[in-house]
Amino acid sequence: MRRVYFTPGPSGLYFTVEHHLKHAVKTGITSISHRSKQFEEIFKEAETNFKELVQLPDNYQMVFTSSATEIWEKMADGLITGKSLHIVNGAFSKKFYSVVNNLNKETDIIESSWGDLPDFKTRANEEYDVVGVTHNETSTGVETPLDQLYSLKKQHPESILAVDAVSSLPVVNLDYSKVDTVYASVQKAFGLPAGLGVWLINDKTEELARNLHDSGKVRQTPHNIVSLIDQARKYQTPSTPNILAIYLFSQVVRDMINRGIQQIRNDIIYKSAIMYNMLEKHNILNPFVKEKTLRSDTIIVVDSGERTNDLLNYLSAHKLEVGNGYGKMMGKQIRIANFPTHSKEQFEMLVDLIEKFE
């Protein structure tokens, strides 16, 4: 048996990636020009497939970047001239705040302890250029309930609501009409090698970006929201992209459509349920997130305390790799990814093994 990666990202490859990689090398996709018709076809197919998979409305444009970190920087540069609000409940929501803050922008923050969610209404009715919220905190395993997430839009109707779905897209069933921009990395739930960011931008976000761009108020970098959108409309990118990753993305998304997004989502819920149920009854281990409505389906964080390294080694001896706690929780927690590539059988095996750990 090959080692199985339940790590929270990079994670296990989607099970069809190996096949698509072979095809890409065999047919020369790694060697085609990114200015060729063939590349445009790949980009177009990626967009068509993705729009179908998540039912993305037509007022959204998909663009590719090299990472979600790049998206944070380009949002700060291209959308925020006034002030931004950041809902912070872990390391990654904090990072977006830090990126904006380090660029000397004015920022407000609503912060909770790890494992929880702050009170979203604290700054209600204040307007911001951007309100940033993390749907699924990869560091803590807290999932923001969608009704709460959408409530930010009601509280800040003029602001751009930017949703970090790095470790939940395409599993999360988002109502895209209730948010403005959404971004993800492919090395999490898409099951692809790291090195590509996916950014969904609605017309309202584009309009703000274009106005600021045209007014000369924002930096005219090679990659900026406007250049990324303008190129993407031609199925192009401003600079040579990770062509292989875009090809793999298009193919894996097609495979997910064929499997059925509802089936994928049901499987995730099943796997998450058996894991949390087992953890609730475990003698040594506990789910970190106490409030059940906040428990992430895709990133399951476990309090393992001083037994953390024993647990990691025990699972690793069975060729199962899970993640260590993030940042300050390293050595105190484990994090388990529950992504589309992880089969029910693999997950049941993992649950069984953790259940027997003592």
Nearest by Cα to 14 from 270, 197, 249, 319:
249
323 near a second copy (CB under 8 A): yes
Q: Please, which residue, 7 or 308, has the CB nearer to a second copy?
A: 7
276 backbone dihedrals φ, ψ, rounded to 5°: -65, -40
Q: Which of 80, 218, 244, 256 binds a second copy (CB under 8 A)?
A: 244
Collapsed DSSP state (helix, strand, coil) of residue 220? coil
Nearest by Cα to 140 from 323, 299, 305:
299
220 near a second copy (CB under 8 A): yes
| CB of 244 vs a second copy, minimal distance in Å | 4
CA distance 156 to 123: 9
72 near a second copy (CB under 8 A): yes
Interface residues for a second copy in 148-187 (CB under 8 A)? 185, 187
CA distance 149 to 324: 28
- Under a CB-based contact definition with an 8 Å cutoff, are residues 181 and 205 in contact? yes
DSSP string, 319-348: TEEEEEPPGGGTTTEEEEE--TTS-HHHHH
Q: Mark the segment that binds a second copy (CB under 8 A) among 170-178, 242-250, 282-290, 292-300.
A: 242-250
Q: Which of 47, 73, 180, 297 binds a second copy (CB under 8 A)?
A: 73
Q: Which of 123, 135, 156, 223 binds a second copy (CB under 8 A)?
A: 223
DSSP string, 33-92: -TTSHHHHHHHHHHHHHHHHHHT--TTEEEEEES-HHHHHHHHHHHH-SSEEEEEESSHH
Q: Please, which residue, 219 or 234, has the CB nearer to a second copy?
A: 219
Residue that is written with structure tokens 């099951």 in the block = 191
7 near a second copy (CB under 8 A): yes
Interface residues for a second copy in 14-43 (CB under 8 A)? 17-18, 21, 25-26, 28, 30-34
Interface residues for a second copy in 92-111 (CB under 8 A)? 99, 102-103
309 near a second copy (CB under 8 A): no
Instruction: For residue 199, give the DSSP letter.
Output: E
Interface residues for a second copy in 42-71 (CB under 8 A)? 66-70
Q: Mark the segment that binds a second copy (CB under 8 A) among 5-13, 282-290, 292-300, 309-317.
A: 5-13
| CB of 13 vs a second copy, minimal distance in Å | 6
Q: Please, which residue, 59 or 240, has the CB nearer to a second copy?
A: 240
Q: Mark the segment that binds a second copy (CB under 8 A) among 126-134, 233-241, 254-262, 307-315.
A: 233-241
Categorise residue 195: left if φ over 0, alpha if ψ from -120 to 50, beta otherwise.
left
CA distance 301 to 139: 8
Q: How many residues bind a second copy (CB under 8 A)?
A: 51
Amino acid (one-letter) located at 36: S
Q: Please, which residue, 24 or 56, has the CB nearer to a second copy?
A: 24
Q: Write out the H or E segment, with its range, that includes residue 185.
A: strand 181-185
Q: Which residues bind a second copy (CB under 8 A)?
A: 2-3, 5, 7, 9-13, 17-18, 21, 25-26, 28, 30-34, 66-70, 72-73, 99, 102-103, 185, 187, 193-196, 219-223, 238-245, 321, 323
